[in-house]
């Protein structure tokens, strides 16, 4: 089905199931430990051997020699896989560095060998016997030092430089100016479930149970890397214990499990051990961002410029930190540039809200600094600079943009009017109290997504799509969508996800998953409704599907009757002309308000109160959407105060590569969090009239914390994380 905007009235609008705060249908399996994760498919894959990955001990250079004989002879060892014996490998589209290195080493802890043994302990012990001699080369590890060598990125997905009006002149002639530079650090996804895969071969066909956000990408890249046809690869990922972008792509665990299983002629499971993950996989790259804003004395922005730099491996992607600056605020004279420097650190790539998350960390401090220069309230300053159109191309409108309402409602509910605008004035004993605000903004792309819906002879409905549930609630909103479309209660619906045998979906990424995948299910349900109607001898357009019946006028027939003669199957893929098209811009908006207390003696910051107001289209399940937003807010606390991969600039790796030293918020760090959703239906977005929410909840949070810290202390920190040493 091609989605034609605007969406017309459809069964989803009844909101009997969609829009309800339904409990997760997979909640019981997860909380009772019966949901099988990638490492736990003991039933489907008995007798799996265990693999242990050896990571490179240098950041850049070559393997001079690799001796695996001692490891091969160690107790229980079944196989040792290296680039020398793995056969010819191709490379997937999504990986910058090779997932099995040799002879060249591109980054620290890049996999150089997999040891397969009967038990995990045997594999780990033997892994220590693999002797690698390296010829190390000098690497580049310091973004600040390499910034001067940064170039304009040329990848298809990389952002262009943008120019509107005459920034230089506009900025120069602005009566009030800010020119400030901000630093965001390398960050790690630090999801709970490590990258893990269990693989087995049947003849020339490989099946991999893995933990992955994008089944179709994983399948295609695994086939390319193994140099076998896609049809010979099955990828299964029914449950994912967190992704945040770390599992968007094929990673070493899946490839090595497949290679290990081929070498050992046994099913093999591989989990990347925790301390390997931080340097072996991807991370959010550090940025340096220079922002210039010029405004009139009335507070209207005249000129806004945003330049960003990040580092990456050769041919690595840019961190698009300027995206929001192109769209969020008005102003006639504008420019953005993005530059990437080559670094020999592990691969930088997408982490929750890539681009906008670090971009908003900088832009929203800049807006706070600018409001102060103008002697304006930061809420008022933002509202004054709202725009209803794309400021670069005014013929493009936002599909929905309820940004001002988010700001006003947030200010009202948070009690913003009581804030003391002068920094460092409010004390409670030794604590300095401060309040901060930031915008929330994240684009909301839509992606092609397929599904298959079956009505069984018993009247039960089964939905199949390769969509993943990375803890976000896909199972539940897909069931709700199906229930609404077919008029079948939730307990008569079975949702089956994350299997490349099912129709290819949008997958979980870029906060497009919920809206796109339910739209695909909507399309498949339309097909099934047509078949049901034909079987029952009624016209689909006249029929109401409700309470397990199909009604036309006063006549009602049981839905199940349609499948009496055999199962009915509806399958379709929704296709979008592109939400980010010539006429419309699909984005989500919000406002974050934060109260902090900073210990005036130690500089310790405690976040005490948080409020988010979000406008993100129809909210498919308010309970799950709230969970997404408070998860984002929690991650924002980490971004503001804790998260920081520390680069060892001599040896070229992230020194704090475990969960003990890479700090993320724990329960004691997280205060009362409130989330308000504005009522909104976005008819341009999809037949669901929904948008994304999972990444919006993060964007802007760290800056709101930073601005609250400034309000509390009068200390302006432009380098994240805001640790106590920067406050005293």
- If binding is defined by CB under 6 A, does position 243 make contact with ligand MOS? yes
- Alpha helices by DSSP H, listed for 603-700, are 622-641
721 upstream amide cis, omega within 30 of 0? yes
Cβ within 8 Å of residue 31, ≥6 positions away = none
- If binding is defined by CB under 6 A, does position 637 make contact with ligand MOS? no
Task: With contacts defined by CB under 6 A, name the span among 240-248, 326-334, 453-461, 527-535 that binds ligand MOS.
Answer: 240-248
> Which among 15, 30, 27 has a CA at the least distance from the CA of 480?
15
- If binding is defined by CB under 6 A, does position 351 make contact with ligand MOS? yes
Site for ligand MOS in 267-326 (CB under 6 A): none
Q: What is the smallest separation between the CB atom of 620 and ligand MOS, expressed in angstroms?
A: 18
Q: Is 695 an active-site residue?
A: yes
How many residues sit close enough to ligand MOS to count as binding (CB under 6 A)? 11
Residue closer to ligand MOS by CB (options 139, 513) is 513
- If binding is defined by CB under 6 A, does position 260 make contact with ligand MOS? no
Residue choice 224, 352, 419, 618 for contact with ligand MOS (CB under 6 A): 352
**One symbol per residue from 199 to 238: x for binding ligand MOS (CB under 6 A), - otherwise; what is it?**
--------------x-------------------------
Task: With contacts defined by CB under 6 A, name the span among 230-238, 350-358, 364-372, 437-445 that binds ligand MOS.
Answer: 350-358
- If binding is defined by CB under 6 A, does position 354 make contact with ligand MOS? yes
Distance CA 392, CA 335 (A): 10
Q: What is the smallest separation between the CB atom of 47 and ligand MOS, expressed in angstroms?
A: 34
Residue closer to ligand MOS by CB (options 115, 340) is 340
- If binding is defined by CB under 6 A, does position 248 make contact with ligand MOS? yes
**One symbol per residue from 495 to 514: x for binding ligand MOS (CB under 6 A), - otherwise; what is it?**
--------------xx----
Q: Which residue is nearest to ligand MOS (CB)?
A: 245
Radius of gyration of the chain (CA): 26
Q: What is the smallest separation between the CB atom of 219 and ligand MOS, expressed in angstroms?
A: 17
From residue 61, alpha-carbon distances to 57, 58, 90, 160, 723 in Å are 10, 7, 21, 32, 35
Residue closer to ligand MOS by CB (options 178, 351) is 351
The angle at the Cα of 239, spanning 236 to 245, to the nearest 5 degrees, equals: 90
- If binding is defined by CB under 6 A, does position 445 make contact with ligand MOS? no
Task: With contacts defined by CB under 6 A, name the span among 151-159, 243-251, 484-492, 528-536 that binds ligand MOS.
Answer: 243-251
- If binding is defined by CB under 6 A, does position 442 make contact with ligand MOS? no
Residue closer to ligand MOS by CB (options 78, 690) is 690
Residue closer to ligand MOS by CB (options 347, 595) is 347
Give bridge partners of residue 79 from the DSSP assignment. 116
Site for ligand MOS in 536-555 (CB under 6 A): none
Q: What is the smallest separation between the CB atom of 411 and ligand MOS, expressed in angstroms?
A: 30
Residue closer to ligand MOS by CB (options 170, 513) is 513
Question: Which one-letter DSSP state was computed for residue 719?
Answer: B
Q: What is the smallest separation between the CB atom of 612 and ligand MOS, expressed in angstroms?
A: 19
Residue closer to ligand MOS by CB (options 259, 504) is 504
Distance CA 30, CA 115 (A): 31
From residue 532, alpha-carbon distances to 493, 566, 629 in Å are 16, 11, 38
Task: With contacts defined by CB under 6 A, name the span among 242-250, 258-266, 336-344, 590-598 that binds ligand MOS.
Answer: 242-250
> Which among 392, 370, 393, 375 has a CA at the least distance from the CA of 439?
370
Total residue count of the chain as it appears in this document: 728
Instruction: State which H helix or E strand residue 515 sits in.
Output: helix 513-536
What backbone torsions phi and psi does residue 21 show, to the nearest 5 degrees? Answer: -80, 60
Residue closer to ligand MOS by CB (options 189, 452) is 189
Q: What is the smallest separation between the CB atom of 2 and ligand MOS, expressed in angstroms?
A: 25
Question: Which one-letter DSSP state was computed for residue 177?
Answer: E
The residue annotated as part of the active site, out of 540, 643, 695, 719, is 695
- If binding is defined by CB under 6 A, does position 487 make contact with ligand MOS? no
597 and 431 Cβ atoms separated by less than 8 Å: yes
Compute how many other C-beta atoms are within 10 angstroms of the C-beta atom of residue 630: 17
Strands 431-443 and 426-428: antiparallel
Task: Round to the nearest angstrom and report the end-to-end CA distance of the chain.
Answer: 59
Distance CA 677, CA 671 (A): 19
Residue closer to ligand MOS by CB (options 337, 443) is 443
Distance CA 306, CA 161 (A): 10
Chain position carrying tokens 């019981």:
28
Residue closer to ligand MOS by CB (options 350, 528) is 350
Cβ within 8 Å of residue 60, ≥6 positions away = 105, 106, 107, 136, 137, 138, 139, 344, 652
Task: With contacts defined by CB under 6 A, name the span among 177-185, 351-359, 370-378, 441-449 that binds ligand MOS.
Answer: 351-359
- If binding is defined by CB under 6 A, does position 419 make contact with ligand MOS? no
Distance CA 84, CA 227 (A): 16
Binding site for ligand MOS (CB under 6 A): 213, 243-245, 248, 350-352, 354, 509-510
Q: Which residues are catalytic?
A: 695
């Amino acid at each position: 089905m091609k989605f034609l905007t605007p969406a017309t009235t459809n069964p989803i609008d009844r909101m009997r199931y969609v829009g309800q705060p339904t409990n997760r249908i997979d909640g019981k399996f997860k909380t009772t430990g019966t949901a099988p994760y990638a490492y736990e498919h003991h039933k489907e894959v008995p007798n799996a051997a265990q693999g242990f990955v050896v990571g490179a001990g240098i950041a850049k250079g070559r393997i001079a020699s690799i001796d695996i004989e001692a490891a091969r002879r160690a107790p229980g060892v079944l196989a040792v896989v290296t680039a020398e014996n793995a056969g010819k490998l191709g490379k997937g589209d999504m990986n910058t560095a090779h997932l099995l290195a040799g002879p060249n080493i591109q980054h620290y802890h890049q996999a150089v060998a997999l040891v397969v043994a009967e038990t995990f302990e045997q594999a780990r012990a033997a892994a220590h016997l693999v002797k690698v001699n390296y010829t190390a080369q000098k690497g580049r590890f310091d973004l600040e030092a390499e910034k001067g060598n940064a170039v304009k990125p040329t990848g298809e997905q990389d952002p262009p430089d943008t120019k509107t009006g005459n920034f230089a002149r506009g900025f120069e002639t602005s009566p009030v100016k800010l020119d400030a530079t901000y630093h965001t650090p390398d960050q790690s996804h630090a999801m709970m479930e490590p990258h893990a895969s269990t693989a087995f071969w049947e003849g020339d066909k490989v099946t991999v149970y893995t933990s992955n956000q994008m089944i179709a990408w994983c399948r295609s890249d695994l086939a390319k890397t193994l140099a076998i046809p896609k049809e010979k690869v099955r990828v299964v990922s029914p449950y994912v214990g967190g992704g945040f972008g770390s599992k968007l792509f094929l990673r070493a665990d899946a490839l090595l499990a497949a290679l290990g299983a081929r070498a050992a002629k046994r099913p093999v499971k591989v989990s990347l051990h925790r301390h390997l993950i931080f340097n072996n996989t991807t991370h959010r790259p550090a940025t340096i961002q220079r922002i210039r804003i010029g405004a009139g004395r009335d507070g209207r922005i005249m000129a806004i410029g945003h330049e960003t730099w990040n580092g990456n491996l050769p041919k690595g992607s840019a961190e698009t930190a300027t995206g929001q600056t192109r769209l969020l605020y008005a102003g006639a004279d504008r420019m953005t540039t993005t530059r990437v420097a080559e670094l020999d650190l592990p691969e930088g790539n997408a982490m929750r809200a890539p681009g906008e998350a670090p971009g908003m960390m900088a832009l929203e401090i800049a807006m706070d600094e600018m409001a102060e220069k103008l002697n304006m309230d930061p809420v008022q300053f933002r509202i004054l600079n709202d725009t209803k159109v794309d400021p670069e191309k005014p013929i493009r409108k936002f599909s929905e943009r309820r940004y001002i309402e988010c700001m006003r409602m947030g200010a009202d509910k948070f009690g913003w009017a009581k804030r003391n605008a002068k920094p460092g004035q409010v004390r409670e004993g030794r604590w300095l109290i401060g309040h901060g605000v930031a915008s929330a903004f994240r684009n909301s792309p839509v992606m092609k997504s397929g599904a298959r819906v079956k009505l069984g002879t018993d009247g039960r409905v089964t939905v199949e799509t390769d969509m993943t549930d990375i803890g976000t609630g896909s199972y539940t909103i897909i069931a709700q969508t199906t229930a609404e479309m077919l008029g079948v209660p939730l307990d008569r619906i079975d949702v089956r996800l994350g299997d490349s045998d099912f129709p290819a979906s949008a997958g979980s990424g870029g906060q497009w998953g919920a809206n796109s995948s339910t739209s695909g299910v909507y399309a498949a349900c339309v097909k099934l409704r047509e078949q049901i109607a034909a079987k029952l001898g009624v016209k689909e357009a006249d029929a109401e599907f409700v309470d397990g019946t199909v009604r036309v006028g006063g006549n009602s027939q049981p839905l199940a009757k349609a499948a009496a003669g055999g199962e009915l199957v509806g399958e379709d893929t929704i296709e979008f002309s592109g939400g980010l098209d010539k006429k419309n811009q699909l984005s989500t908006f919000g406002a974050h308000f934060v109260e902090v207390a900073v210990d005036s003696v130690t500089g310790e910051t405690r976040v005490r109160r948080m409020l988010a107001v979000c406008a993100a289209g129809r909210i498919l399940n308010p309970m799950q959407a709230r969970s997404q937003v408070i998860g984002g807010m929690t991650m924002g606390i980490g971004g503001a105060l804790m998260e920081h991969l520390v680069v060892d600039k001599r040896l070229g790796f992230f020194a704090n590569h475990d969960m003990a030293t890479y700090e993320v918020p724990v329960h004691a760090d997280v205060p009362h969090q409130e989330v308000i959703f504005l009522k909104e239906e976005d008819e341009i977005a999809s037949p669901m009239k929904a948008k994304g929410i999972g990444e919006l909840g993060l964007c802007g949070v760290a800056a709101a914390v930073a601005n609250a810290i400034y309000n509390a202390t009068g200390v302006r920190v432009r380098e994240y994380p805001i640790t106590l040493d920067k406050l005293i």
